Structure 1
């Protein structure tokens, strides 16, 4: 291991960056150095620009992927190498704003019924019922279930933050049925390796298998269940601030995007056109086609 790599690792650990972030940053800096066949401390801003052009034009990566590489290079040069460049001199690509495709309640029910493994079905049920990220669901422990307070404890979720989320009675019943069948001890959803939780990859593969079996045309990932949770909560009348706390969002603006997709909330609003008096002189027109 080179001294520069070790120093960057130490800098990330001092700042308590998430393990996934550390791994991604190291991978990106390694790829950057490999592209030029030189140590990053020998490269300048022009090299960074040339690399971003390569990622954009030659490799055709998405803005999200390029943002990860840019974040890694910003950290390397501003924190580890302490270059006196303005942060904007390493430009961050603008990400397009896309709304998630949301499953209806009926589609969620049909999807969960298509999961053939009790462990996989229960972890996906939990992700939906509590609005969990897949990384949070796989790291639940048996001791995180508090049936007295009807809560689930999320230990060190995104941003290294603990939080409590709702434990519905129906989910508690499902978890008790699952526990009787599997008898987990430490991890609520144990993996194939002794003493380790189920892997993210295993949950994603189970999700893909159930998606194919369900025949639902919408894209479905484990995160789709979190989107569905937030949208369905909003459509049921839960205020945005409460949903923000349940999801563990740092910014209310992140949660507010669900206002754009909660159809029963947005589309049920009366249009001002409906409030206008009947327009004089308007004549009845022929009936539209049946499919209109």
Structure 2
């Protein structure tokens, strides 16, 4: 294979970067790896930094990347537990990689000898030392808590494992004018409908791509979102304008299985292709912000709040478990803030 690979930190997470000249055969090959992602800003593909991938790309195994025999057996038990609880494949992979990192750090210890002090040591000597993100640290905490919940003999007190202080980041929001610019930019009708549907219903990227024609209920003016994040179904209102677009779209494209399909009928549209659709749309506008598809969902929620929609309804529409998650939009809504008069105006 004509590619090169090396271990990197991508967004503060250990990954393996794979470099090669654009080649359809190699792209198809790299996509067969679990959690393979393309970085448009760095122009490389990247994969999880694990033993299997290091061996495949002939990257030397670091001593701390190998758990002891007990740790390896514990990982198998943990993975089977997660699968039996019907966690998603992504969650299973994320938690197992996080636990593996923790257990390999203490590969000289028996699992039952690991204590709460060891958790703190891991945080300071591995996570903080390598400047890994608080979100990665939180994943580790989730994995540790869940793992030691099923370990019969343990020196860990699960309740005393502390989490990193949550970063208080505000969601990125576009104005209605900016949203209109973005969704009206694509010449391709399918692309315009996809972006419009994400904003008009506050959908996640994955929720849009798994939609099927039968999920559109035109008689009740709703869309059924099946098995979204947290394996939850929910319904969202279908606007008359979107319904008109969808009817026209259906006549033109006649999707077979998924509402939005790729070049092969029956295969759903790819997330990377949808991201490229947004990127191309942005290039046709004067918007210079680093907009992502999720910004459209944030904008939907904020615009609903600003138009007077009750926060409880917005929580249901977005599929949030906790009202605290939805309350963050109150901090970016400008409806009340714009009415505040600055004392500067009275000088």
Which stretch shifts more, 55-64 or 28-37? 28-37
Find the aligned partners of 2:110 and 2:91 in 1 and give their Cα distance.
19
2:143 to 53, 69, 72: 72
Find the aligned partners of 2:143 and 2:80 in 1 and give their Cα distance.
14
Deviation track 1:37-61 (CA, whole Å, cap 9, x = no partner) reads 5688376234433332244333212
Gaps of 5+ in 2: 1-68
Q: Is 1:14 aligned to residue 76 of structure 2?
A: no
From the CA coordinates, give the structure whose radius of gyration is larger.
1
Paired position in structure 2 for 1:31? 101
Report the CA distance shift for 1:57/1:254 in structure 2 as closer, same or farther (over 3 A): closer
Aligned residues: 274
Deviation track 1:121-159 (CA, whole Å, cap 9, x = no partner) reads 322211100011112111111110011000000001122
Paired position in structure 2 for 1:189? 260
Residue aligned with 1:177, SS:
helix
Report the CA distance shift for 1:43/1:96 in structure 2 as closer, same or farther (over 3 A): same
Find the aligned partners of 2:272 and 2:153 in 1 and give their Cα distance.
37
Q: Is 1:215 aligned to residue 291 of structure 2?
A: no
Paired position in structure 1 for 2:133? 62
Gaps of 5+ in 1: 274-283, 286-292
Find the aligned partners of 2:89 and 2:243 in 1 and give their Cα distance.
31
Find the aligned partners of 2:110 and 2:225 in 1 and give their Cα distance.
38
Paired position in structure 1 for 2:27? none
Name the structure with the higher helix share: 1
Deviation track 1:85-126 (CA, whole Å, cap 9, x = no partner) reads 222443211121111121000000111223354333322211
Report the CA distance shift for 1:87/1:36 in structure 2 as closer, same or farther (over 3 A): closer
Q: TM-score, length-normalised on structure 2?
A: 0.70
Name the structure with the higher strand share: 2
Deviation track 1:168-211 (CA, whole Å, cap 9, x = no partner) reads 01111111222222221111112356643223333233323333
**RMSD of the TM alignment (CA)?**
2.8
Which stretch shifts more, 18-27 or 45-54? 45-54
Find the aligned partners of 1:162 and 1:184 in 2 and give their Cα distance.
22
Which stretch shifts more, 82-91 or 151-160? 82-91
Q: What is the Cα deviation at residue 19 of structure 1?
A: 2.9
Report the CA distance shift for 1:92/1:4 in structure 2 as closer, same or farther (over 3 A): same
Q: Is 1:136 aligned to residue 201 of structure 2?
A: no
Which stretch shifts more, 226-235 or 214-223? 214-223
Find the aligned partners of 1:214 and 1:3 in 2 and give their Cα distance.
54
Find the aligned partners of 1:80 and 1:194 in 2 and give their Cα distance.
47
Larger RCO (CA within 8 A; separation ≥ 6) = 1
Report the CA distance shift for 1:5/1:85 in structure 2 as closer, same or farther (over 3 A): closer
Q: Is 1:121 aligned to residue 192 of structure 2?
A: yes
Find the aligned partners of 1:139 and 1:66 in 2 and give their Cα distance.
30
Deviation track 1:31-86 (CA, whole Å, cap 9, x = no partner) reads 33455556883762344333322443332122112211221122222235663522
